[in-house]
Amino acid sequence: MWIADKWKDYEVLDTSDGEKLERWGNYILIRPDPQVIWSTPHNHAGWKRKNAHYHRNAKGGGEWQFFDLPDEWTVSYKELSFHLKPFSFKHTGLFPEQATNWDWFSEKIKQSKRPVKILNLFAYTGGATLSAAAAGAHVTHVDASKGMVNWAKENAFSSGLSNAPIRWLVDDCVKFVEREIRRGSRYDGIIMDPPSYGRGPKGEIWKIEESVWSFIQLTTQLLSDDALFFLINSYTTGLQPAVLSYMINTAICKRFGGYAEASEIGLPVQSTGLILPCGASCRWEK
């Protein structure tokens, strides 16, 4: 398992009864987590001094209960700074487990010692984009949500990367890739974090089980001849590490060489020393 264990502003304090107790900077949140199917005593003091609690309801939705939490606050990871705020479906605007991938590709960018172009698809609030830019890459950031792209720009400003070579685009990822292929564009690294289900800016429907394989095949046409890496993340239960590995081996390794490795990603739990599984990733590199 690849573990995001370099955080100072974030930690999973405890887990029990379908929930995780987290510290985000100075604030403690309780959020549901489907992986936490065990039950342990709530001995950690954080359970009683929480700042907010997201309650899942029987229909699959839920709502926040606030005690003492600002509308927005900031956490840092190394030299990067991220704005957080609680919004629909339990999210805060950041997936801290992805830091293990940020560190991996940032090191590859730095070690290349050459100009590097990175494409970040389904780029959300820009964690991967800012990590790549801070490592010295030119980054194209694509997301279908204007609000998420604006949020990512705010994170860039807070991280001192307002003037970094980042191209911000609100676009349907599939249509963007198709246009880039026609333009003859090439990238030295590609990152994709496709949702299980989503809609493009004009209502385009994305279902990962139906779309991801053809999209991977399409996107590999944008890899440069001396590409550094390809990274795909999945939070969808059916896309286990082995499935991601089979797809990347088939779509990339046979054409470009190199090798693919897939694994679960996770976060350490302070109270128990366990590692909380948080999805899966597959990394290709030469």
Q: Report if residue 218 sits inside a domain.
A: yes
pTM of the predicted model as reported, rounded to 2 decimal places: 0.94
Integer-rounded Cα Rg, in Å, for the chain is: 19
Two structure tokens written together for 84: 């957080």
Does 175 lie in the same domain as 59? no
User: ∠99-102-105 over CA atoms, to 5°?
Assistant: 150
Does 68 lie in the same domain as 194? no
Does 154 lie in the same domain as 28? no
CATH code of the domain covering residue 6: 2.60.40.1180
Does 170 lie in the same domain as 55? no
Residue whose structure tokens are 């700074």: 81
The tens place of each residue's pLDDT in the chain, 286 residues long, gives: 999 999 999 999 999 999 999 999 999 999 999 999 999 999 999 999 999 999 988 777 899 999 999 999 999 999 999 999 998 789 999 999 999 999 999 999 999 999 999 999 999 999 999 999 999 999 999 999 999 999 999 999 999 999 999 999 999 999 999 999 999 999 999 999 998 777 766 777 777 777 899 999 999 999 999 999 999 999 877 789 999 999 999 999 989 999 999 999 999 999 999 999 999 999 999 8
pLDDT score at 200: 65
Q: Report if residue 91 sits inside a domain.
A: no
Does 253 lie in the same domain as 186? yes
Q: Report if residue 135 sits inside a domain.
A: yes
Q: Residue 15, SS3?
A: strand
Q: Which of 34, 50, 84 corresponds to the end of one domain?
A: 84
pLDDT score at 69: 96
Domain holding 60, by residue range, is 2-84
Contact 178, 108 (CB under 8 A): no
Number of structural domains the chain divides into: 2
Contact 109, 189 (CB under 8 A): yes
pLDDT score at 67: 96
